[in-house]
Amino acid sequence: MLAIIGGSGLTQLASLAGTRREVVRTPYGEPSGPITFGEFCGKPIAFLARHGYGHTIPPHEINYRANLWALRECGAHGVVAVASVGSIRADLVPGGIVIPHQIIDYTWGRKSTFHEGADCTVTHIDFTEPYDEALRARLIAAAAAVGVAASDHGVYATTQGPRLETAAEINRFEGDGADLVGMTGMPEAALARELDLPYAAINVVANYAAGRGDSSKGISFEAIQGVLEVSMGQVRAILEHLIAN
């Protein structure tokens, strides 16, 4: 079963048949909300709204460990994360869709491993390639199949949030090699790897990052919402093709 973690702009999957919701408890506390189970084209699927169904949990307060643990507990054997991002690169325009291939982590103070506490042995996961290449390839193929011109690579910088970045921070991230900036990619990706859950992401460019493009005079949240509504239709089409095939 594939699991989808939906971010801002994707808090439910409308096209699911026969849905039921289940509250799942974990040793790490409460997930962001109940998990929705349903079927698409006869294939089972699980969905979790990362920020809660009422969009009430900010990025730094998400219980990433509980979310990933709960999805695996429910039988997920792969996770597709949907998240909106700011674009650092001029050619990745608002409304565009990117299947990222790398991550830089600037977050702090988040519970970012299952391997801690008195009974745990020291464990270092390999994270050279943070996304599962096979799942990434399926996402890229699904986007092509439904006619969405998604970019097939991008370096995702994860910031702590919830505030947006300064223009100088964005310059620094660009110098570090980042193309996109978001607030939720880590520790989500690393925790999935710790659980051996194949994990890949679909990023929707909501805006140019601070100081870039039309964001040089500040970022408008009204504009972000408008962009997300259109692009999430394309995200749904990609996901439906992925699940059905």
CB of 108 to ligand HPA, least distance (A): 15
If you count them, how many residues does the chain have?
245
189 a known binding residue? no
The 81-100 contact track toward ligand HPA, x by CB under 6 A, reads ---xxx--------------
Applying the rule CB under 6 A, the residues between 154 and 173 that interact with ligand HPA are 159, 164-165
207 a known binding residue? yes
For ligand HPA, give the closer residue by CB, 36 or 231.
231
8 a known binding residue? yes
CB of 137 to ligand HPA, least distance (A): 25
Peptide bond into 58 cis (omega under 30): no
Is 135 one of the binding residues for ligand HPA (CB under 6 A)?
no
For ligand HPA, give the closer residue by CB, 2 or 178.
178
158-212-170-58 Cα dihedral, nearest 10 degrees: -40
For ligand HPA, give the closer residue by CB, 27 or 162.
162
For ligand HPA, give the closer residue by CB, 60 or 111.
60
Distance CA 128, CA 208 (A): 28
Considering only the stretches 78-86, 95-103, 115-123, 187-195, report the one whose residues sit in contact with ligand HPA under the rule CB under 6 A. 78-86
CB of 67 to ligand HPA, least distance (A): 18
Total residues in contact with ligand HPA, by rule CB under 6 A:
12
For ligand HPA, give the closer residue by CB, 63 or 159.
159
The residue ranges that bind ligand HPA (CB under 6 A) are: 84-86, 159, 164-165, 181-183, 206-207, 209
- Numbered residues of the known binding site for substrate: 183, 207-209
